[in-house]
Each structure stands twice: as structure tokens, then as C-alpha cells.
């Protein structure tokens, strides 16, 4: 799958060489793609044990929203709302279970993972509503999860990073929303504008064709591609947003837009730290038990959360 021009480290190339090839997204049904992602995730390890992991629901505007609550200790002092990736249409609580466990274990904060409604059954903005509702319920002490009064961060990977950035924009100004953790995020809807899309269009776990397929599932024909609830980079005013951590992968179609969003946040006066992880591919953070760069970056992200919560405290 990998070759020298893709800029991967020897370790990353070795890891990808052990991953069975999959058909293009366009060649499978949505359900087949979901099952393929789940099967791949189950091969990547279980993550660390925690004090408590339980499934629950919160009450969103469209009905109950399934969540999974990870507690590293009986009485956590902070909470991260985590939003899984998978191109909006794929991924779920199981595909990102190990990553959520690691973030809870390394940061010491509770993690509430959101199982938002997915396209094509529920197209944009259903997922936005579910994520915003979950974060708002925690901020307003109405989630019923035993996490009242705690500082809150929102974060996620890929499409989950997109939804996290949107939630931070929608809920800006809330005193207890203290951080946004954007991991290899989608923040724009115009692939032709970003050189990284051309540079890494094929040959890696996330291709330009994959992103085209994801957008096809997520978007209706009449959607405004510059709607900030879809493309947070297109929001005209980024002032007043919570401090951010933006992590990009060096060999990823989404690299350039993620870094552009970090720069726009900085220009708007938002405290932001951006880290490009060279030599790795888009989904590298899910490989915590196989890839040293994934373990190190998970630790870095958890440290950023600890620092954000400590500053609030």
C-alpha cells in the first residue's frame, strides 16, 4: 500500500503492510463498509481496563442519543465528550472503544463517547444536532450521567473532529467548555483547494475517493457547502472559541485544511497548539498497540487535556 513518495516512516509502512487490503468504499454498500471498519478496529487491540465503562442515553432534540461513559476513577474532575470518526457514515462506539479507553486512562478525565445518528439514513445536520445536544446537556448539568458541575472538553477524530469543531462554535462562550481536541479533522468541503488532497489522493487508508464517498453519504443535493455547520473552516468569526489542540498526520489528504483551521484560530486570538505527526497516515491514532507514534500522540493529546482542565481548576 505504501511507497516512498507517501512519506511514511518505516514503522508505519510495516504496520500498513500487515493490514489486509479492502475494496474501495464505492464498491461496497454502507453496511458492508461499516462491518469492514468494525472488523479492522477489533484487530487493533482492546485498550486499557478502566474503573467503569457503561452504556447510557441522553435526551436529544430528536430523541435518545446513545453514549458510552468511561470512568478512570470513581469521581473524575473533568469530562471529554468524544466524537468518533469514520466519515460520518461509518464508525461507532465499538470502533473507537480502545482509543476512548486510552484517552480516559492517560488523561484521568471521564470520557463520554457519542453514538450520533449517521448518514445516509440520517443526513446532515442530524449528527451535528446529536453532538451539540450531548455537549450542551453536560454543560447545563442535564445529561443525567453523574458528571454535573465538571469542566468539559469536546474532541474527536476525522469526521468526529469536524463535529467537535462545529459544537465548539455553536456553544462558544460557555464558561465550562474549556477545550477542543481536533484529531486529523475534516474542516472543509472543497478538496480541490488543498495540496495534500492531490499529494495523497491514493495509496493510503484514506483516499480522495473515500472522502468523495463520505461526502456523498453525508450531504443532500441542496446543501450549502460553505455552511459553517458543515465546514467549520468557513465560519466568518472564530473569536471567543475555547482553546484548541489540532493534530494532523503528515501523510493525509486532510492535513492542509486541519492546519489552516489551526492558523485561523490563532489569528482570531484563540490559544491553539498544532502538531503535525510526520511519517504517519490518517487513521494512525487507532493503532495505539502497534505504532509508537500513535502511543506518543495519544499521550500528548491526554497531556493537553490535563493542562486545559488544570488551568480551569
What is the b/e burial string over 4-35, where b = at least 16 CB atoms within 10 angstroms of the residue's CB?
Answer: eebbbbebbbebbeeeeeeeebeeeebeebbe
Beta bridge partners of 80: 111, 153
> What are the DSSP calls for 18-79, one per residue?
TSPP---GGGS-HHHHHHHHHHHHHTT------SEEEEEEEEETTEEEEEEEEESSSS-S-E
How many residues make up the chain in this entry? 313
> What whole-number distance in Å separates Cα of residue 246 and Cα of residue 240?
17
> What whole-number distance in Å separates Cα of residue 131 and Cα of residue 145?
16
- Position 298 pLDDT exceeds 80: yes
Which carries the bigger pLDDT value, residue 22 or residue 145?
145
CATH number at residue 262: 3.40.50.1820
Query: Per the residue annotation, which of 78, 102, 107, 158 is the catalytic one?
Result: 158
- Position 43 pLDDT exceeds 80: no
Q: Is 179 a catalytic residue?
A: no
Query: Per the residue annotation, which of 92, 210, 252, 293 is the catalytic one?
Result: 252
Q: Is 174 a catalytic residue?
A: no
Query: Per the residue annotation, which of 96, 129, 282, 293 is the catalytic one?
Result: 282
pTM for this predicted structure: 0.96
Q: Is 84 a catalytic residue?
A: no
- Domain containing residue 139: 4-312
- Give the three-class secondary structure for 181: strand
Distances (CA, A) of 148 to 17, 75, 141, 145, 169: 45, 11, 5, 8, 22
pLDDT > 70 in the chain, percent: 98
DSSP code, position 5: G
Q: Tell me how many domains the chain contains.
A: 1
pLDDT at 311: 85
pLDDT (tens digit per residue) in 155-192: 999 999 999 999 999 999 999 999 999 999 999 999 99
> What whole-number distance in Å separates Cα of residue 84 and Cα of residue 70?
14
Radius of gyration of the chain (CA): 18
Amino acid at each position: 500500500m505504501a511507497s516512498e513518495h507517501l512519506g511514511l516512516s518505516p514503522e508505519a509502512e510495516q504496520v500498513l503492510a500487515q493490514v489486509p487490503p479492502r475494496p474501495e468504499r464505492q464498491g461496497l454498500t454502507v453496511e458492508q463498509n461499516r462491518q469492514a471498519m468494525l472488523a479492522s478496529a477489533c484487530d487493533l487491540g482492546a485498550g486499557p481496563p478502566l474503573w467503569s465503562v457503561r452504556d447510557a442515553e441522553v435526551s436529544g432534540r430528536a430523541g435518545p442519543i446513545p453514549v458510552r461513559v468511561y470512568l478512570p476513577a470513581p469521581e473524575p474532575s473533568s469530562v471529554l465528550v468524544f466524537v468518533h470518526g469514520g466519515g460520518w457514515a461509518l464508525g461507532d462506539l465499538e470502533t473507537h472503544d480502545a482509543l476512548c479507553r486510552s484517552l480516559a486512562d492517560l488523561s484521568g478525565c471521564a470520557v463520554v463517547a457519542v453514538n450520533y445518528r449517521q448518514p445516509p439514513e440520517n443526513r446532515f445536520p442530524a449528527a451535528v444536532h446529536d453532538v451539540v445536544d450531548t455537549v450542551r446537556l453536560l454543560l447545563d448539568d442535564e445529561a443525567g450521567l453523574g458528571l454535573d458541575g465538571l469542566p468539559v472538553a469536546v474532541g474527536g477524530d476525522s469526521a468526529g473532529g469536524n463535529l467537535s469543531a462545529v459544537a465548539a462554535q455553536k456553544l462558544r462562550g460557555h464558561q465550562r467548555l474549556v477545550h477542543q481536541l481536533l484529531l486529523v479533522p475534516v474542516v472543509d468541503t472543497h478538496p480541490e483547494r488543498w495540496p495534500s488532497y492531490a499529494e495523497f489522493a491514493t495509496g493510503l487508508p484514506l483516499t480522495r475517493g473515500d472522502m468523495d464517498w463520505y461526502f456523498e453519504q453525508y450531504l443532500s443535493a441542496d446543501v450549502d457547502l460553505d455552511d459553517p455547520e458543515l465546514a467549520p473552516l468557513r465560519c466568518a468569526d472564530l473569536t471567543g472559541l475555547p482553546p484548541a489542540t489540532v493534530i494532523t498526520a503528515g501523510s493525509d489528504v486532510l492535513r492542509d485544511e486541519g492546519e489552516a483551521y489551526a492558523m485561523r484560530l490563532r489569528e482570531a486570538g484563540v490559544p491553539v497548539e498544532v502538531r503535525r505527526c510526520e511519517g504517519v497516515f490518517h487513521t494512525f491514532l487507532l493503532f495505539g498497540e502497534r505504532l509508537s507514534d500513535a502511543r506518543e500522540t495519544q499521550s500528548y493529546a491526554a497531556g493537553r487535556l490535563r493542562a486545559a482542565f488544570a488551568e480551569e481548576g
